[in-house]
Amino acid sequence: HEEKTYYVHQSLLTTASKYFQAALERDFIEAHEKKIQLPDVDTEIFDIFVDWLYSSKLEAIDTNLKETYIFADGHEVPVLGRTVLDATFRILNRPSMPTFRAIAYLYARLPAQSPYLRLVVD
């Protein structure tokens, strides 16, 4: 997938995420270099995250919400996770149901007690 360099204010990252706080404020090489490699994160999802960091608005479309939640869960960004839950709740109030494939995908990538997973299944 595409490789991209981002320049993000450290204070925004460390305030929003325990993952980034640990990486940038503890005695890790990332803290000294002020650089973090995220090879498993799709740039489209990280774009959504960075836009959210600076605007507090979620620009994810329906198809990106599950990936955005998985990112938020894995990188300890609880406020983004709650924002995705709210957006997903609004979408799930529409007459259509999530597909079995979408639910199986989430089960494979999130903890069983994940609020997002429980919301979609319920």
Gap between the Cα atoms of 26 and 48, Å rounded:
26
pLDDT at 90: 84
pTM: 0.77
pLDDT at 18: 95
Four-way CATH pick for 10-120: 3.30.710.10, 3.40.50.10320, 3.40.50.1370, 3.20.20.140: 3.30.710.10
Residue 61 token pair: 């479309």
Answer whether 62's CB lies under 8 Å from 91's CB.
Answer: yes
pLDDT at 121: 81
Question: Digits of tens for pLDDT over the chain (122 positions)?
Answer: 678 999 999 999 999 999 999 989 887 777 778 889 999 999 999 999 999 999 999 987 777 899 999 999 999 999 999 999 999 888 877 767 778 888 899 899 999 899 988 888 87
Residue 4 token pair: 């991209």
pLDDT at 70: 95
pLDDT at 16: 97
**Nearest C-alpha neighbor of 116 from the set 97, 48, 94, 78:** 78
